[in-house]
Amino acid sequence: MGLFVGQNIITLQQVPSTNEYLKDKLSNSTPLAEGTVIMAVHQFAGRGQKGTSWHSEPGKNLTFSLLLTPTFLNPKHQFSLTVAISLAIAQWLESLLHTAIKVKWPNDIYIGDKKIGGILIENILKGKVWKSAVVGIGINVNQVDFPETFQEHSIAIKQILHKDSNIGELLPDLCKYIEREYFELKNGGFEGQLAMYKQYLYRLGEVHPFLIDGVSVAGVLCGVTAAGRLMIDFNGHVVDFDIKEVAFSVKPN
């Protein structure tokens, strides 16, 4: 079967946010094939998880949104798409950079303690049916200067390869990895994907401080549930949390 993810790439020179652009098109009923990619050269008001913003210097990074229609999944299983996309990006980066890639739960992509990419999946449901997913992906490629608050915690492909990369050449390769994991999910491969996702988890098996109700508590990250809840072991007692209930804390109590 031919590649469908990224077969249709629409490149915009300037756009506030590719996710917003794609969602607008969908709400205006613009016919767009599954697998269509909206890619921005300059995304000037990019959005991140939890209402944050995503900064990117013009022309330097991968900033795009992909349209998927995972109608085969129950909307209760939204985390499975997060797993498939995170895995695809992690595996693609590993093959490109030959260095260890981690997924900071739920879907930040890390090298060491620095973030190289992020994912913002926005789902469009119709009643109880999953109509479409806008999969927004940002990967730092050639940008090495970041806004002050991010500088210390950010990394780019350029810092590993020590040279600039061609954004347009990277995208089709990443699309192949996404397509492979998406088909795997479609073919009932979620259990295996979840097991692999766990292998990529940042801080897995390590004692780490977590912020719970504003208090920093040390625990061992020991996995994620199929619904996407983070499992933390506190002295042999495992508790699971959703994204609003826990955060990685940098400072121990």
Beta bridge partners of 212: 215, 246
Using CB under 6 A, list all residues that contact ligand BTN. Answer: 17-19, 43, 46-49, 52, 54, 63-65, 108, 118-120, 136-138
Provide, rounded to whole angstroms, the least separation between the CB of residue 153 and ligand BTN.
11
The SS3 of residue 162 is coil
Provide, rounded to whole angstroms, the least separation between the CB of residue 207 and ligand BTN.
25
Phi, psi angle pair for 136, to nearest 5°: -95, 130
Distance CA 216, CA 29 (A): 46
> In this structure, how many other beta carbons lie within 10 angstroms of the beta carbon of residue 52?
11
Beta bridge partners of 62: 139
Provide, rounded to whole angstroms, the least separation between the CB of residue 108 and ligand BTN.
5
User: Please, are residues 106 and 72 in contact by the beta-carbon 8 Å criterion?
Assistant: no
**Given the complex with ligand BTN, which of 16 and 189 has the nearer CB atom?**
16
**Given the complex with ligand BTN, which of 35 and 136 has the nearer CB atom?**
136
Please report where in the chains the tokens 């209930």 appear, as a residue: 245
- Among candidates 114, 109, 122, 138, which has minimal Cα distance to 45? 138
Residue of minimal Cβ distance to ligand BTN: 118
**Given the complex with ligand BTN, which of 52 and 225 has the nearer CB atom?**
52
Distance CA 134, CA 233 (A): 34
**Given the complex with ligand BTN, which of 43 and 82 has the nearer CB atom?**
43
**Given the complex with ligand BTN, which of 52 and 71 has the nearer CB atom?**
52
Provide, rounded to whole angstroms, the least separation between the CB of residue 65 and ligand BTN.
5
- The DSSP secondary-structure symbol of 229 reads P
Provide, rounded to whole angstroms, the least separation between the CB of residue 61 and ligand BTN.
8
Provide, rounded to whole angstroms, the least separation between the CB of residue 45 and ligand BTN.
7
**Given the complex with ligand BTN, which of 65 and 219 has the nearer CB atom?**
65
